[in-house]
C-alpha cells in the first residue's frame, strides 16, 4: 500500500509498454504499512535513476508526457508525482502540455553559428511547409549550420545531417593524436578499432598497474578539457584514495556549450576510444561503475556508443575481470534531455539520479561526494582521449607537444565565417590566426570583426588577437579562455547585436533557476541587451548596470553557468561590438 497520492489520470497501454521497454518491469518493492517518512525516503531514491529514461519513453510514445503517463512512472518508481513533474519540466526535450498533434518535432538551432547562417529563415520555411518546428538552443552541429534535430514520436530521433558523409579536413594527417582514427576506423567494429591501435593503451595500463597510470597522468600535466582545466591527475588520485564504498567514473558527454561539437564527432566516429579510456579511468581509480551521460540531441553518438559497449562487453573488455585486469568494470549510458546546465558536473549527477539538474554547492567535491554521494571522477571525453596517448606513449613523449604549461594537443571547434568549419586538432601554442588559416580562412570578402573563444561562456577577442598563442596560460593572461575549444569567427558583415541578444537569452533560458543572482540576473541582462538593440547604443547608466550585474553573477552564483553568464556580453561591450565603442 503506497502512501503516494495520485490524481485519477491513468496511462494507456502504449505508455505502459513504452516505459516497460525502457526500464524493465521491476517495480519498487513497497512494504505494507511502510511510510515515506521512514523506509520510504530510501525507497523513493532506490530506482529514481530510471526516471529520466522513463520520461524519455513517455515523451517518445505520445509526443508529450501526459498526466496519466507521469502518474504511472511515478507509481512504478515510487517518486512523488509533483517531483516527477518538476523533473519533466526541467528539460527542453520534454513537453508537459499537449501539443495537439503527434508529428515529429524539428528542432532548429538558433544559437550564434546557426543564427548567422540563417536558421531563423530555415525555421520559418519549415513551419510554412507544415513541419512542427521548435527553436532550440545549440544542437552541437555548428560545423553544419543551420542545424536540425528531429525528435520522433513513436519513431527514433534523428539528425538529418547524419546521413551525409563525414567531413573531416585533417583526415590522414600523420601528426594527429586524438583524432587519428576519425574517418579511418569503422566506428561499428571492435576489430577495426583494434587494428587501428585500439586497446593497446588498456593492455599497457594493466601491465603498468593503477599506481603507475596515476603517476603518468599526473606527470603528463593533463588538465580537464571541458573548460575548467582542472589537473586530471589530482582528480584521479583523490578518487583512487577513497576506499570502502562504490566509486564511479563518468564521461561527461553533455557538451552543450554553444559552438561546441568536438565530443559528438569523436563519439560518432571513434566510440571505442571513449570506452577504452573510461575503462582505464576505472582501473586507475579502482571504480567499478562507468557512466556515459550524453546529451539527448546526439542520437547517432548514443547508438554507436551503445553498440560499442555491447561489443566490448561480449569481448570481455567490460564486465567482471574486464580485459583480464582482475578489476570489475562496466558502463551504463544515460541520455540527457536538453539542459545546458547538466554539463555542470554536480548538475549532471543530479540528472542521472533522477532529480532536477540543479548544481550543488562545492565543497564537498565530486571526488568524495559525487554520483549518488559517492567518490566520482568525472571527465570530458577529450580529456579521456588524452589518457590513451599518455599511457601508450608515456608522459615524456606526451609532453613533447604543446607548451610547458599546456602540454599536448587541443581539439578546436571551428565555426562561423570560416571556409572549412569543422573539428581540428592543433598543438597547444598554435596561434589564433594559424587556426583560422587551417580552417581555410574567412569566407566572403569581409574582414574579421571578432572571434568568440570558448563558447557562450567564453569571450570575444578582436582581430588584434590573431597572434594569440592558444594555450591555457596565454588565454588566461588575456582575460579570455579556451573553454571547450570553441573558435567562432565573425566578419564585419555580421550584425553582432542580435548575436549578443541571443547569447544573453541563451543564459536566461538555460539558468536552472536555483540561485537568485543567476535566475534573475540572466533575465535582467537579457532585457538590458534587448533595450540596447532597440535604441542602438548603451547609456552610461545601463553600462553601469550591466557591469554591476556581471560582478554579482560572477561572484555570488552557485555554479559556473552564473559565473560566466556575462563574460561574452562584457567582452563584446569592451570591444565595441554592440552599443557603440567605449
Contact residues toward another protein (CB under 8 A) are 4-5, 7, 35-37, 40-41, 67, 70, 74, 80-86, 89-90, 96, 339, 356, 361, 363, 508-517, 519-524, 527-528, 530-531, 534, 541-542, 545, 548-549, 551-552, 554-558, 563
The residue among 41 and 537 lying less far from another protein, judged by its C-beta, is 41
CA 530 to chain centre: 28
Task: Give CA–CA dist 406/525, Å, rounded.
Answer: 34
In the chain, how many H helices and how many E strands? 24, 12
In whole angstroms, the minimum distance from the beta carbon of 414 to another protein comes to 30
The residue among 35 and 135 lying less far from another protein, judged by its C-beta, is 35
In whole angstroms, the minimum distance from the beta carbon of 287 to another protein comes to 27
The residue among 122 and 550 lying less far from another protein, judged by its C-beta, is 550
Task: Give CA–CA dist 258/178, Å, rounded.
Answer: 22
Q: Which residue has the cell 567605449?
A: 582
Task: Give CA–CA dist 498/486, Å, rounded.
Answer: 19
Interacting residues of 463 by C-beta distance below 8 A, sequence separation 6+: 447, 448, 449, 450
Interacting residues of 237 by C-beta distance below 8 A, sequence separation 6+: 214, 218
Task: Give CA–CA dist 46/268, Å, rounded.
Answer: 32
In whole angstroms, the minimum distance from the beta carbon of 361 to another protein comes to 5
In whole angstroms, the minimum distance from the beta carbon of 81 to another protein comes to 4
Task: Give CA–CA dist 369/225, Å, rounded.
Answer: 21
In whole angstroms, the minimum distance from the beta carbon of 297 to another protein comes to 17
The residue among 356 and 449 lying less far from another protein, judged by its C-beta, is 356
Residue 482, classified by CB atoms within 10 Å of its CB into exposed (0-12), middle (13-18) or buried (19+), is: buried
In whole angstroms, the minimum distance from the beta carbon of 468 to another protein comes to 23
In whole angstroms, the minimum distance from the beta carbon of 186 to another protein comes to 40
Q: Which residues of 289-308 are buried (b: 16+ CB within 10 A; e: fewer)?
A: bbbbbbbbbbbbbbbbbbeb
Secondary structure class of 410 (helix, strand, coil): strand
- 8 Å CB contact between 91 and 297: no
The residue among 194 and 563 lying less far from another protein, judged by its C-beta, is 563
Secondary structure class of 527 (helix, strand, coil): helix
| Among 122, 113, 127, 121, CA closest to 148 | 122
In whole angstroms, the minimum distance from the beta carbon of 582 to another protein comes to 19
Give me Rg for the CA atoms of the chain: 24
In whole angstroms, the minimum distance from the beta carbon of 114 to another protein comes to 21
In whole angstroms, the minimum distance from the beta carbon of 440 to another protein comes to 38
The H or E element that residue 134 is part of is strand 132-136
In whole angstroms, the minimum distance from the beta carbon of 35 to another protein comes to 7
The residue among 545 and 574 lying less far from another protein, judged by its C-beta, is 545
What are the DSSP calls for 187-240, one per residue?
TT-HHHHHHTTTTHHHHHHHHH-HHHHHHHHHHHT-B-TTTT--BHHHHHHHHH
How do strand 486-491 and strand 248-253 relate by DSSP bridges?
Answer: unpaired
The residue among 400 and 537 lying less far from another protein, judged by its C-beta, is 537
Task: Give CA–CA dist 213/394, Å, rounded.
Answer: 10
In whole angstroms, the minimum distance from the beta carbon of 90 to another protein comes to 6
Q: Which residue has the cell 540528472?
A: 351
The residue among 313 and 519 lying less far from another protein, judged by its C-beta, is 519
The residue among 177 and 524 lying less far from another protein, judged by its C-beta, is 524
In whole angstroms, the minimum distance from the beta carbon of 5 to another protein comes to 4
DSSP assignment letter at 442: B
- 8 Å CB contact between 147 and 139: yes
The residue among 34 and 215 lying less far from another protein, judged by its C-beta, is 34
DSSP assignment letter at 104: -
The residue among 405 and 563 lying less far from another protein, judged by its C-beta, is 563
The residue among 252 and 511 lying less far from another protein, judged by its C-beta, is 511
- CA distances from residue 283 to 200, 240, 301, 402, 511 in whole angstroms, order as listed: 15, 9, 24, 27, 36
Secondary structure class of 175 (helix, strand, coil): coil
In whole angstroms, the minimum distance from the beta carbon of 547 to another protein comes to 10
The residue among 447 and 548 lying less far from another protein, judged by its C-beta, is 548
The residue among 45 and 194 lying less far from another protein, judged by its C-beta, is 45
Amino acid at each position: 500500500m503506497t502512501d503516494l497520492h495520485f490524481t485519477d489520470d491513468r496511462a494507456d497501454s502504449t505508455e505502459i509498454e513504452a516505459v516497460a521497454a525502457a526500464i524493465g518491469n521491476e517495480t519498487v518493492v513497497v512494504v505494507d504499512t511502510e511510510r515515506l517518512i521512514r523506509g520510504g525516503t530510501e525507497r523513493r531514491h532506490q530506482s529514481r535513476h530510471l526516471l529520466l529514461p522513463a520520461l524519455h519513453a513517455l515523451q517518445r510514445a505520445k509526443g508529450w508526457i501526459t498526466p496519466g503517463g507521469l502518474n504511472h512512472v511515478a507509481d512504478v518508481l515510487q517518486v512523488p508525482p509533483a517531483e516527477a513533474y518538476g523533473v519533466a519540466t526541467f528539460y527542453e526535450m520534454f513537453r508537459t502540455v499537449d501539443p495537439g498533434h503527434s508529428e515529429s518535432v524539428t528542432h532548429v538551432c538558433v544559437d550564434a553559428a546557426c543564427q548567422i547562417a540563417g536558421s531563423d529563415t530555415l525555421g520559418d520555411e519549415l513551419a510554412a511547409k507544415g513541419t512542427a518546428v521548435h527553436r532550440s538552443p545549440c544542437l552541437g552541429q555548428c560545423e553544419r549550420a543551420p542545424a536540425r534535430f528531429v525528435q520522433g514520436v513513436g519513431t527514433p530521433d534523428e539528425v538529418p545531417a547524419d546521413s551525409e558523409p563525414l567531413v573531416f579536413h585533417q583526415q590522414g594527417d600523420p601528426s594527429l593524436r586524438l583524432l587519428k582514427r576519425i574517418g579511418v576506423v569503422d566506428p561499428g567494429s571492435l576489430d577495426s578499432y583494434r587494428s587501428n591501435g585500439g586497446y593497446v593503451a588498456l593492455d599497457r595500463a594493466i601491465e603498468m598497474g593503477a599506481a603507475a597510470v596515476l603517476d603518468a597522468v599526473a606527470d603528463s600535466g593533463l588538465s580537464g578539457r571541458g573548460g575548467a582545466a582542472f589537473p586530471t591527475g589530482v582528480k584521479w588520485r583523490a578518487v583512487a584514495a577513497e576506499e570502502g564504498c562504490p566509486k564511479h567514473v563518468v564521461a561527461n558527454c553533455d557538451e552543450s556549450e554553444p559552438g561546441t561539437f568536438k565530443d559528438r564527432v569523436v563519439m560518432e566516429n571513434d566510440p571505442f576510444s571513449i570506452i577504452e579510456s573510461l575503462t582505464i579511468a576505472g582501473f586507475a581509480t579502482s571504480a567499478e561503475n562507468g557512466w556515459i551521460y550524453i546529451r539527448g540531441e546526439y542520437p547517432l553518438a548514443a547508438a554507436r556508443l551503445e553498440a560499442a559497449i555491447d561489443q566490448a562487453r561480449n569481448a570481455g573488455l567490460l564486465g567482471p575481470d574486464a580485459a583480464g585486469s582482475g578489476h570489475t568494470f562496466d558502463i551504463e549510458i544515460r541520455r540527457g534531455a536538453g539542459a545546458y546546465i547538466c554539463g555542470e558536473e554536480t548538475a549532471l549527477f543530479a540528472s542521472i539520479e533522477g532529480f532536477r539538474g540543479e548544481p550543488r554547492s562545492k565543497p564537498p567535491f565530486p571526488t568524495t561526494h559525487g554520483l549518488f554521494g559517492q567518490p566520482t571522477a568525472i571527465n570530458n571525453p577529450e580529456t579521456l582521449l588524452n589518457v590513451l596517448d599518455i599511457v601508450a606513449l608515456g608522459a615524456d613523449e606526451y609532453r613533447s607537444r604543446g607548451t610547458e604549461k599546456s602540454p599536448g594537443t587541443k581539439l578546436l571547434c571551428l565555426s562561423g565565417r570560416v571556409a572549412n568549419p569543422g573539428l581540428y586538432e592543433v598543438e597547444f601554442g598554435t596561434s589564433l590566426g594559424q587556426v583560422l588559416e587551417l580552417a581555410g580562412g574567412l569566407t566572403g570578402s569581409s574582414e574579421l570583426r571578432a572571434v568568440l573563444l570558448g563558447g557562450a561562456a567564453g569571450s570575444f577577442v578582436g582581430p588584434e588577437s590573431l597572434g594569440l598563442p592558444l594555450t591555457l596560460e596565454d588565454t588566461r593572461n588575456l582575460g579570455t579562455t579556451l573553454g571547450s575549444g570553441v573558435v567562432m569567427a565573425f566578419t564585419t558583415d555580421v550584425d553582432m547585436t542580435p548575436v549578443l541578444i541571443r547569447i544573453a537569452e541563451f543564459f536566461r533560458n538555460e539558468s536552472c533557476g536555483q540561485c537568485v543572482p543567476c535566475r534573475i540576473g540572466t533575465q535582467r541582462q537579457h532585457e538590458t541587451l534587448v533595450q540596447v538593440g532597440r535604441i542602438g547604443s548603451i547609456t552610461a547608466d545601463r553600462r553601469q548596470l550591466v557591469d554591476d550585474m556581471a560582478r554579482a553573477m560572477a561572484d555570488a552564483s552557485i555554479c559556473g553557468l552564473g559565473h560566466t553568464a556575462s563574460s561574452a556580453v562584457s567582452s563584446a561591450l569592451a570591444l565595441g561590438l554592440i552599443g557603440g565603442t567605449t
